């Protein structure tokens, strides 16, 4: 195997691949695939459907650079709520939606029940006097922390 190592060393580039750094970043940013990419797809679909719109036009509407829009549609941006709101208005589409909820009477708890619950979700209790308290609740509704 040492022969192989020596042979490879003769031709290997002195500059190693940058892959590992990028992989680490992607591994630590699951929101890139789960959120940023989902938003990017909807922006791209909206632009594709509207003949009068392109990425340059969208950049103008948002008062940002074309490079910034390019990063957004690559799904690589940690978008702020403000940016999401501005894009929604510019494209006239909803990029994020909120689950329905309802309050119950005082002392009773309520929960949001989307189709797929995350590993835990927040339960909000309406307290006497109008205040609220939040508890972390597991999917099986067993409290784990407060």
Partner 1 sequence: MELKSIFVDEDSGEGLYSMQYDGENLDEFERLLDLWNDTQYLSTYLLNNSKFLNTPYFRISHNDAMTKILEEAEELENIIYGYCEKGFGEGENLQMIFKQLENKDTKMPVYQFSKAKIDSRKFPRFLRFYAIRISENTYIITGGAIKLSLYMSEHEDTKRELEKLELSKKFLIDNEISNLDDINYYYEQS
Site residues (CB under 8 A) for partner 1? 1-13, 15-20, 22-24, 26-27, 32-33, 36-37, 40-41, 44-45, 48, 70, 73-76
Contacts of 83 (CB under 8 A, 6+ apart): 62, 72, 77
CB of 77 to partner 1, least distance (A): 10
> Given the complex with partner 1, which of 90 and 112 has the nearer CB atom?
90
CB of 90 to partner 1, least distance (A): 17
Contact 65, 40 (CB under 8 A): no
Cα–Cα distance between 54 and 62 in angstroms, integer?
12
> Given the complex with partner 1, which of 10 and 128 has the nearer CB atom?
10
> Given the complex with partner 1, which of 45 and 127 has the nearer CB atom?
45
The bridge status of strand 109-110 relative to strand 143-145 is unpaired
CB of 40 to partner 1, least distance (A): 4
Cα–Cα distance between 39 and 122 in angstroms, integer?
24
> Given the complex with partner 1, which of 13 and 108 has the nearer CB atom?
13
Q: Which residues pair with 79 in a beta bridge?
A: none
Cα–Cα distance between 133 and 127 in angstroms, integer?
7
CB of 76 to partner 1, least distance (A): 8
């Amino acid at each position: 195997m040492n022969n192989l190592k020596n042979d490879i060393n003769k031709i290997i580039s002195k500059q190693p691949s940058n892959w590992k750094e990028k992989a680490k970043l992607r591994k630590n940013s699951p929101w890139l695939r789960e959120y940023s990419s989902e938003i990017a797809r909807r922006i791209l679909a909206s632009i594709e459907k509207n003949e009068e719109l392109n990425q340059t036009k969208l950049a103008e509407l948002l008062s940002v650079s074309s490079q910034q829009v390019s990063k957004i549609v690559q799904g690589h941006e940690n978008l702020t709520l403000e940016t999401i709101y501005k894009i929604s208005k510019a494209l006239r589409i909803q990029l994020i939606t909120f689950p329905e909820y309802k309050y119950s009477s005082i002392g009773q708890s309520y929960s949001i029940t989307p189709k797929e619950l995350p590993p835990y979700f927040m339960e909000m209790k309406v307290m006497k006097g109008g205040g609220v308290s939040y508890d972390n609740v597991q999917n099986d509704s067993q409290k784990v922390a407060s």
